[in-house]
Amino acid sequence: MESVWMKGCEIRKREPLPGDMEAPVVVIGAGLAGILTAYYLKQEGIRAVVLEADRIGGGHTKNTTAKITSQHNLIYSRLIRTFGSQMAAHYAVANEAAIGEYERLIREKGIDCEFVRCPAYLYSQTGTELLKQEAQAAASLGIGAAFETDCELPFPVAGVTRFARQARFHPLKFLSGIAEEVEVYEQTKVLKVEERKVETDRGAVTAEHVVFAAHYPFINVPGYYFARIYQERSYVIALEGAKRPDGMYLGIDPGGLSFRSCGDLLLLGGGSHRTGVNPMDKTGAGCKYEMLRNRSRELYPGCREGYRWSAQDCMTLDGLPYIGRFSRRRPCWYAATGFGKWGMTSSMVSARILTALISGRECQEADIFSPNRQVTVQAVKELALHSAYTVKGLAKRLLPPGMGRVIPNCPHMGCRLEWNPEEESYDCPCHGSRFNQDGHLIDGPAQIDCKKGEGE
């Protein structure tokens, strides 16, 4: 189940870490956030070494729908209510600037990555009030947003909120181009971090600053990100023979779908659920891919499925990324995580904020993204729900067999794994680690494979 981005896009291989070394900055993770952070640090004259356990872009960057947008569902009216107009404006400005920075880099470097400016829409089939509120809130913060009633979707809608001059691109082609200017060591797995020393299976890197940009921080203390982040899975099918819209669309109603053109294909996405909470029963009911196929046949008769893949997203308690100093107890550590469904824009925002912090420059937008920001009412409610899943996962001791194999608890914090028949993986409902049928690690925060049970 490889994504459309992996077809015909080969990123040049790098050598593993040759042994112990020292550098001003070490970045853990060679996805978009890590590579961009290292790139911008280099522009400031600061050497950054990037360590990657597998391959550049081999994690979650390859499974995105690759929308570069400041439109992050219904967010701006909530930000104004919760944090005030000034901090909400910082979020809007940072994400709008990220779109423009992608465009500047792509043109300046001559990177052929199918970058296209286009509008992004939120739509609803049931009501208009939330859409109107969001359009008004976004416009008050300087975003080119407006409520409209016309759109390109193949079904009637009550209305849409249109964000002008957003963008889409090919993420791996962009990553391949920008990574040529960065010092990266692949096949180098980070084992632990102590103060300024990052130990790997290939040697240790001692640095003044350590950036955690590997999706989900694997360090539990300090920071306690395991209590502040959960993970969700979502699903995409790429359709041949379907009418392709010029804009990008996201439904705000329960079960709303995502639409986005990609060359001759239409990317249809949806079906989000918490990782480890299996949506499919033994009869196959609840299969997300089948749901998308059924909807595609209804909306685009005669279309064909060309690709299908799933994504895993880190979700924070208040819906905003954690970008900034990892913890007050570790001022030389930095985090870039919790991007939700908006990893492309958030990766650029992360790179620019972290570069400013490390180089000692002022960055007024950093306040709204700080991992140490104020705790909101929404965050408290989400914490209670997240904790309930964790307690339930920890209370279980035995994993029922899946596909003839018995695998014990997740090596991250001991939660019992759940078998996901749709993707043939063992998933952790507590923090989102995933393992294949043989217990080999697919997704963190776990760092090691899962051992087989005594019955194997």
The model's pLDDT over 73-88, given as tens digits with 9 standing for 90+, comes to: 999 999 999 999 999 9
Report, at the CATH architecture level, how domain 114-169+231-312 is classified: 2-Layer Sandwich (3.30)
User: For residue 104, how far is the Cα from the chain centroid?
Assistant: 23
The pLDDT assigned to 455 comes to 40
Q: What is the pLDDT of residue 231?
A: 94
Concatenated DSSP letters of 139-188: HHTT--EEEES----SS--SEEEEEEEEEE--HHHHHHHHHTTSEEE-S-
Low-confidence ranges of the chain (pLDDT < 50): 397, 399, 401-404, 406, 454-456
pLDDT of res. 376: 76
CATH topology of domain 396-443: Rieske Iron-sulfur Protein (2.102.10)
pLDDT of residue 284: 62
pLDDT confidence of residue 456:
41
Total-model pTM: 0.92
**Residue 392: predicted pLDDT:** 63
- Of 203, 200, 230, 236, the C-alpha closest to 215 is 230
Regarding the domain with residue range 4-65+172-228+319-376, which homologous superfamily does it belong to in the CATH classification? FAD/NAD(P)-binding domain (3.50.50.60)
Q: By C-alpha distance, which of 44, 2, 11 is closest to 25? A: 44
So where are the chain's domains? 4-65+172-228+319-376, 114-169+231-312, 396-443
Please count the other Cβ atoms lying within 10 Å of the Cβ belonging to residue 111. Answer: 20
Q: How far is it, in rounded angstroms, from Cα 285 to Cα 291?
A: 9
CA distance 341 to 66: 10
Residue 402: the pLDDT is 45
Q: Can you give the pLDDT at residue 395?
A: 60
Q: Which residue bears the tokens 């952070």?
A: 37
